[in-house]
Structure 1
Amino acid sequence: MEADTLELESFLPYRLYRLADAVSREFSRVYKDRHGLTRPEWRTLAGLGQHGTMTATALGEQSAMHKTKVSRAVAELERRRWLTRKPDEKDRRVEHLTLTRAGLTAYREMVPLAKAFERDLLGRLNASERAAVTEGMAALKGALDRSTTQL
């Protein structure tokens, strides 16, 4: 292979992206079948369910979603009456998003399904494979954290 050629199938960032996408697509069947949610809608529901009131900016940062995806997800969840928006008292450009009772109900229905999905996925691995995945992810995260603090 030439030095100026990149084989995507063995390039770590590409492999990680493909793996994350495959896992996300498989899990998407759970929330799509249950509630007809898209990935951004699920991530928005999950973020608000976990953290309570958040801004759209905070949701985007927490879920690594672009602001347009967050905005569309918020609009759809609001249309379903699963979340409410409350303008910030000091900055009217900012809105605080909170799940409604119906949104919390949907979130609480999804939590055990999400945990079961994770258990099932990890259950396909033996103990040493599970440990290797956990340790490898932690090592990569640590390496990235160290490189960003050195900038």
Structure 2
Amino acid sequence: MSDTGVLILEEFLPFRLSVLSNRVSSAVAKLYEDRFDLKLPEWRIMAILGRNPNLTASQIVDISRMDKVAISRAVKRLVEMERLTATGDPQDARRQRLNLSDEGWKIYDQIVPLALSVEEKLLAGMNEEERAALHTAITLLDRAAAKLD
């Protein structure tokens, strides 16, 4: 046995967060794919642009912390499906500014209530104090994780 002790994986916070994220993401992804022909990265891009229009793919990577290649593929597919528009950036011809198209906004407006419903189901067993504590804990963990980079 090593001097560092034993790692009990199912109690290890990074593992638990990953499993939880995967479980929720899988359920949500199935919902979006079945109803809207959207993969989860595509929906995340649409959600980001719904709140923050006119971003570049690099800015979406920074906000979402998703893989650059996954973002690129998802943007390409969303543009092909006419759910996003991509226009040249007047300040840098190598970049494109991304926005939801009219079709993208129609889908966004349908998905938002579903997304909020999923969130409410996840939080249904918690009172307001527990919800606030969870929000605080996630914020603190996110700050700590940012320092690990």
Taking structure 1 as the reference length, what is the TM-score of the superposition?
A: 0.85
- Match of 1:124, SS? coil
Shift in Å, 1:107: 0.6
Gaps of 5+ in 1: none
Structure 2 counterparts to residues 35-114 of structure 1, below 5 A: 35-114=36-115
Amino acid at match of 1:96: R
Q: Distance in 1 between matches of 2:132 and 2:91?
A: 47
- Match of 2:77, SS? helix
Q: Which residue of 1 aligns with 2:15?
A: 14
Q: Distance in 2 between matches of 1:144 and 1:38?
A: 26
- Match of 2:7, SS? coil
Which 10-residue stretch deviates more, 132-141 or 115-124?
A: 132-141
Which 10-residue stretch deviates more, 107-116 or 4-13?
A: 4-13
Amino acid at match of 1:82: R
Q: Distance in 2 between matches of 1:30 and 1:51?
A: 24
Structure 1 stretches of at least 4 aligned residues deviating more than 6 Å after TM superposition: none
Q: Distance in 2 between matches of 1:138 and 1:44?
A: 21
Shift in Å, 1:128: 5.2
Amino acid at match of 2:112: V
Gaps of 5+ in 2: none
Q: How many pairs were matched up?
A: 148
**CA-atom RMSD, angstroms?**
2.2
Shift in Å, 1:134: 2.4
Taking structure 2 as the reference length, what is the TM-score of the superposition?
A: 0.86
Would you say 1:3 and 2:19 are equivalent positions? no
What's the CA shift string for 1:78-132, capped at 9, x where partnerless?
Answer: 1111111111112111110111100011111111111111111111335554344
Would you say 1:124 and 2:114 are equivalent positions? no
Shift in Å, 1:133: 2.2
Amino acid at match of 1:101: D
Q: Distance in 2 between matches of 1:90 and 1:105?
A: 30
Q: Which residue of 2 aligns with 1:26?
A: 27
Identity %: 38
What's the CA shift string for 1:27-84, capped at 9, x where partnerless?
Answer: 2222122212111111111111111111000111111111110111011111111111
